Amino acid sequence: MDTIVLKFGGSSVADNLKLNIVAQKVIDLYDEGNNIVVVVSAQGKTTDNLIKEAKELSNLPEEREMDVLLSTGEQVSMSKLAILLNQLGYKSISLTGWQAGIYTSKESQNSKIEQIDTSRIEKELEKRKIVIIAGFQGINENEDITTLGRGGSDTTAVAVAAALNAKHCYIFSDVDGVYTTDPNKVTIAKKLETLSYKEMLEIANEGAKVLHNRCIEVGQKYHIPIITKSTFNNKPGTTLQDKIEDTNVKSIVKNDDIIYVHMKYETYSPELFSKLLKLLEKNNIGANNFVNNSIHSMDVYFTIKSTTLAKFQNLLENDLKAFDTTYKNITRIAIVGHGIMNDNKILEEAIKIVDLNNLEIINLEINESKLALMFSQKLSNTILEQLHIALIG
Ligand code: ADP
Ligand code: ASP
Ligand code: MG
């Protein structure tokens, strides 16, 4: 009997009507004679709302308590789906992260799955139960609940699929696959039939929500076929395949969730520089694109995600007062596809559009499968559409 893992995101489990659509998809695959493991996200905007409510109580809530709070969202959806499936006559059981044997690293809010003890899941599957697991959560060595970072239910699903040696891992969401750009930003975006893990990883790392970046690494490492599909239609989705196809642009990602930081201090101080790096790391503020423009003074530029701004502002007010700091919201656009570095035309076309729009590029990064441009300001979706027309059609 094959084991299939199905993951349903927040929009797929948002209300009772949608839970019925999910249940039908689960039942269809169960009735074909498969072992079914379902991983669910929190309903709709639950996680966003919980974060907002916690921030009304405290500007900087403890990360451990945020894990406890946010993990409740997934527990609501898993139990509702189990209640519904049981009512429909299909034996099912919901399991939290720790009940499902998902052990993670110690840190809060961005833990990594280290190991999965599948014995409980397997025991339930042997009884022909449908096993429903809370995505996004696990337990660490202190027996504290941990969470895997925003969008982390995808990683739960692929990791569980790897641990169970599942035949497929389906990621169901509100889009029927991975597109040539976010279809909610550019309407002419086209769905891709296949994509390599490497290309998908670049797309995810650049901030496209459609798949959590770490699930792609797990899928590639354990050779799990990942298929993204829509919960709301039966169209074929996008399959991740570990083969490199033709050289062309596959997808364009526009990320507006970026803060560009400039920090100055009159003399260069390795101690101060290392203090800055350590504080960013300790506070889980993933800083990227570091540049120091001078060897005599500190003239440091880097980017952070806008979701970490409150933590960064707190550091500026307390530990990093010595710096003269400014920051602003900017846009980064990444053009992804294997072989991009060898095709000069892609860079030429992109620069032509940048010049036509009188835009300033503050950072340009190119590797074999990505060309990324960072702009000095936040941009509308018009530029994304223009790049799409020029490079994809
Ligand atoms: P879920 O809540 O089911 O996990 P997400 O919101 O995380 O779903 O991911 C789906 C969203 O990803 C889509 O609604 C879409 O706006 C966004 N997205 C961004 N880039 C792409 C892309 N290239 N292809 C498809 N969807 C994309
Ligand atoms: N509920 C979590 C989030 O909104 C995890 C997930 O949806 O994957 O980030
Ligand atoms: Mg998601």
Query: Of all helices (H) and strands (E), which one includes residue 82?
Result: helix 63-87
Highest mean predicted confidence (pLDDT) among 224-228, 271-275, 364-368 = 224-228
Q: What is the pLDDT of residue 100?
A: 98
Q: Give the atom of ligand 2 at the shortest distance from the alpha carbon of 151.
A: 8
Q: Which residues surround ligand 3, an ion (CB under 5 A)?
A: 9, 151
Q: Give the atom of ligand 1 at the shortest distance from the alpha carbon of 228.
A: 25
Q: Is 174's C-beta closer than 6 angstroms to any atom of ligand 1?
A: yes
Domain range summary for the chain, segments of one domain joined by +: 3-244, 252-391
Whether residue 268 is predicted with pLDDT greater than 90 in this model: the reply is no
Q: Poorest-confidence range of 135-149, 244-258, 262-276?
A: 244-258
Whether residue 242 is predicted with pLDDT greater than 80 in this model: the reply is no
Cα(212) to centroid of ligand 3, in Å? 6
Which residues have C-beta atoms less than 6 Å from ligand 2? 9-10, 41-42, 47, 73, 135-136, 150-153
Q: Is 340's C-beta closer than 6 angstroms to any atom of ligand 1?
A: no
Whether residue 286 is predicted with pLDDT greater than 60 in this model: the reply is yes
CB 167 within 8 A of CB 173: no
Proximal ligand: closest to the CA of 206: 1
The best mutation among 18, 41, 209 to test binding of ligand 1, ranked by most ligand atoms within 8 Å of the C-beta, falls on 209
Q: Nearest residue CA, atom 10 of ligand 1? A: 210
Q: Nearest residue CA, atom 15 of ligand 1? A: 182
Q: Give the atom of ligand 2 at the shortest distance from the alpha carbon of 73.
A: 1
% the chain with pLDDT above 90: 89
Confidence bin at 50 (pLDDT 50/70/90): very high
Whether residue 333 is predicted with pLDDT greater than 90 in this model: the reply is yes
The best mutation among 150, 156, 231 to test binding of ligand 2, ranked by most ligand atoms within 8 Å of the C-beta, falls on 150
Q: In terms of CATH architecture, what is 252-391? A: 2-Layer Sandwich (3.30)
Q: Poorest-confidence range of 2-11, 48-57, 122-131, 263-272?
A: 263-272
Whether residue 245 is predicted with pLDDT greater than 60 in this model: the reply is no
Whether residue 243 is predicted with pLDDT greater than 80 in this model: the reply is no
Q: Is 22's C-beta closer than 6 angstroms to any atom of ligand 1?
A: no
CB 226 within 8 A of CB 239: yes
What's the mean pLDDT in 73-87? 98
Cα(129) to centroid of ligand 1, in Å? 30
Q: Poorest-confidence range of 132-141, 206-215, 235-244, 337-346?
A: 235-244
Assigned CATH for 3-244: 3.40.1160.10
Cα(78) to centroid of ligand 2, in Å? 13
What's the mean pLDDT in 335-360? 94
On average, the pLDDT of the chain sits at 95
Q: Nearest residue CA, atom 9 of ligand 2? A: 150
What's the mean pLDDT in 124-153? 98
The best mutation among 156, 158, 173 to test binding of ligand 1, ranked by most ligand atoms within 8 Å of the C-beta, falls on 173
Q: What is the pLDDT of residue 189?
A: 97
The best mutation among 154, 182, 333 to test binding of ligand 1, ranked by most ligand atoms within 8 Å of the C-beta, falls on 182
Confidence bin at 293 (pLDDT 50/70/90): confident
Q: What is the pLDDT of residue 269?
A: 85
3-244 and 252-391 agree in CATH topology = no
Whether residue 24 is predicted with pLDDT greater than 70 in this model: the reply is yes
Confidence bin at 247 (pLDDT 50/70/90): low
Q: What is the pLDDT of residue 393?
A: 93
Q: Nearest residue CA, atom 20 of ligand 1? A: 182
Q: Give the atom of ligand 1 at the shortest distance from the alpha carbon of 180.
A: 23
Q: What is the pLDDT of residue 28?
A: 97
Q: Give the atom of ligand 1 at the shortest distance from the alpha carbon of 181.
A: 23
Cα(320) to centroid of ligand 3, in Å? 34
Characterize the bridge pairing of strands 361-367 and 251-265.
Answer: unpaired
The backbone torsions φ and ψ at residue 87, rounded to the nearest 5 degrees and listed phi first, read: -60, -35
DSSP states along 124-160? HHHTTPEEEEETTEEE-TTS-EEE--TTTHHHHHHHH
Confidence bin at 296 (pLDDT 50/70/90): confident
**Cβ-based neighbours of 130, under 8 Å, separated by 6 or more:** 26, 30, 36, 37, 38, 82, 85, 90, 91, 92, 93
Whether residue 264 is predicted with pLDDT greater than 80 in this model: the reply is yes
Q: Give the atom of ligand 2 at the shortest distance from the alpha carbon of 42.
A: 1
DSSP states along 333-382? EEEE-TTGGG-HHHHHHHHHHHHHTT--EEEEEEETTEEEEEESS---TH
